Amino acid sequence: MKRKVYKGAAVLLFSALLVGCQDADPEEQDLETEEESAQQEEEGSHADHDHESEEHDHDHESEEHDHDHESEEHADAEVAEIEGLSDHYHTGDTVTLTASSEAAEDADGHWHWYYRDGEEDEWAAFEGEYEETLETEAVASQEIKATYYDESHNVISESEPLTISIDNHDDGVYEGYFDDDDVADRGISDWAGSWKSVYPYFEAGELDEVYEARAEEDGEMTFDEYKEYYETGYETDVDHIDITGEGEVTFHEENEVFGGSYVYSGYEILEYEAGNRGVRYIFDLEEGDENAPRHIQFSDHIIAPEDSGHFHLYWGDDNASLLEEVAHWPTYYPEDMSVDQIVDDLLLH
């Protein structure tokens, strides 16, 4: 009997426990489940965050690596050449540059074009520009360079930076309208350089589009009348002139070369029949060849110290007579300017 009582009691105790478990509050069970799920999600979130952080750090390091690669100096690379830079541009002009390199001819790669707005700025790439020719809008003082990469993106060749110069001119001054107080002395260094006459281009008909455009635009003269007017103005046998900042001027007239040292003697303001005016900057011969002119006069539509982009030159032995000359004005542009660049400049003026 005693054993049966214990066995029955055990059965009753087990049954009571089973009923108690079945009667537990369902909301408490759901709460425990939600807490477990939240804990799992939080752990997963931490893991994902750590993974994203690692990816971000990796991308950042990669970006810095690429940036360092693009901005580093490439002292061992061959020097590339860039052609097409004009002496100056006007706001809104298009700059067209072409890069070339002997190393690039033998490599299977591509070009990159870079720019920066100042020496303290980082170089930035022109987007989508991978060919040898770049066309972009002129930006004042912007530096541009070209770099050639091989298939492995190693630098093969790189150019020296070029600087874009914007000169919109003072329209009033350029057209000959200014006050006397605006005129200032200038040194001969404003015209230093190697210069060539535009007359050979005129004779070859390579400037005709300029006169065609002017005849169509203003209607003041016909194409033939413009041609006659400019032939009188440009005609000269002095095809080249070399000028140093110290005043040494050398004339190249066909097969003859002559020149001398010139010193500044002042300027004269001229009044024209049309109502506008001009300034002649006068230099006198100090010493030189026997056939060197005693006086030379520069006129370039500039009335204060500034490097000249082109000029009209008058020369001879009678200074007063030269000041009376207004129909014959031989015109000179920088030696390294192409005829296309000269035409572009003439069309703008």
- For residue 249, tell me if it sits in a domain: yes
Torsion of CA 196, 200, 205, 207, to 10 degrees: 20
- Residues of the chain below pLDDT 70: 1-75, 168-171
| CATH at 323 | 2.40.128.20
Let me know whether 147 and 242 are in one domain: no
With a CB cutoff of 8 Å and minimum separation 6, the contacts of 254 are 237, 239
- Expressed in angstroms, the distance from the first to the final Cα of the chain is 131
Dist CA 270 CA 217 (whole Å): 28
Cβ atoms within 10 Å, residue 75: 6
Let me know whether 129 and 212 are in one domain: no
Cβ atoms within 10 Å, residue 177: 12
Instruction: Supply the range of the domain harboring residue 248.
Output: 171-348
Let me know whether 101 and 220 are in one domain: no
> Would you call 295 exposed, middle or buried from its count of C-beta atoms within 10 A (0-12, 13-18, 19+)?
buried
- For residue 228, tell me if it sits in a domain: yes
Dist CA 49 CA 45 (whole Å): 6
| Closest residue by Cα to residue 80 from 149, 164, 182 | 149
Predicted confidence at residue 275, as pLDDT, reads 83
Predicted confidence at residue 7, as pLDDT, reads 39
Predicted confidence at residue 266, as pLDDT, reads 98
Domain count, the chain: 2
- For 324, the token pair is 């009376």
